[in-house]
């Protein structure tokens, strides 16, 4: 049974991967890893990449597809500087760094 995505560091925070797993990803990785984070099946993910419609920028390296951690985290809306609970570290002044809100 799939658990719903949560924003409180719950089991399925980032659509198929724990926050800790996302933050521990290498700089670049294969499409299978990205598919897992995006909850895409292997066939669907590779089909989207081949058509240029993958939800994350895909790099073609020889005959393989690679995705960067920064692009995946950006697509998922995850701050790469956050901890495993999704909380950004405090700034030098001690305040939490947050994204500006749209007006």
For residues 68 and 79, give the distance between their C-alpha atoms in angstroms, rounded to a whole number.
14
pLDDT in tens, the chain (103 residues): 444 444 444 444 444 899 999 999 999 999 999 999 999 999 999 999 999 999 999 999 999 999 999 999 999 998 888 765 655 555 555 555 555 555 5
Q: What is the pLDDT of residue 10?
A: 41
What pLDDT digit, counting tens, does each position of 42-58 carry?
999 999 999 999 999 99
CA distances from 18 to 14, 40, 58, 71, 82 (A): 6, 15, 22, 17, 13
What beta strand segments (E) does 1-103 contain? 28-30, 59-61, 64-68
The answer to whether 97 touches 91, Cβ cutoff 8 Å, is: yes
pTM for the model stands at 0.67
């Amino acid at each position: 049974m799939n658990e719903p995505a949560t924003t409180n560091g719950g089991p399925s925070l980032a659509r198929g991967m724990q926050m800790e797993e996302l933050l521990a990803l290498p700089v670049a990785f294969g499409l299978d890893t990205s598919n897992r984070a995006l909850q895409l099946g292997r066939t669907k993910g590779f089909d989207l990449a081949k058509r240029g419609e993958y939800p994350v920028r895909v790099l073609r390296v020889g005959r393989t597809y690679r995705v960067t951690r920064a692009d995946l985290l950006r697509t998922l809306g995850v701050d790469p500087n956050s901890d495993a609970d999704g909380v950004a570290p405090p700034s030098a002044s001690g305040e939490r760094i947050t994204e500006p809100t749209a007006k």
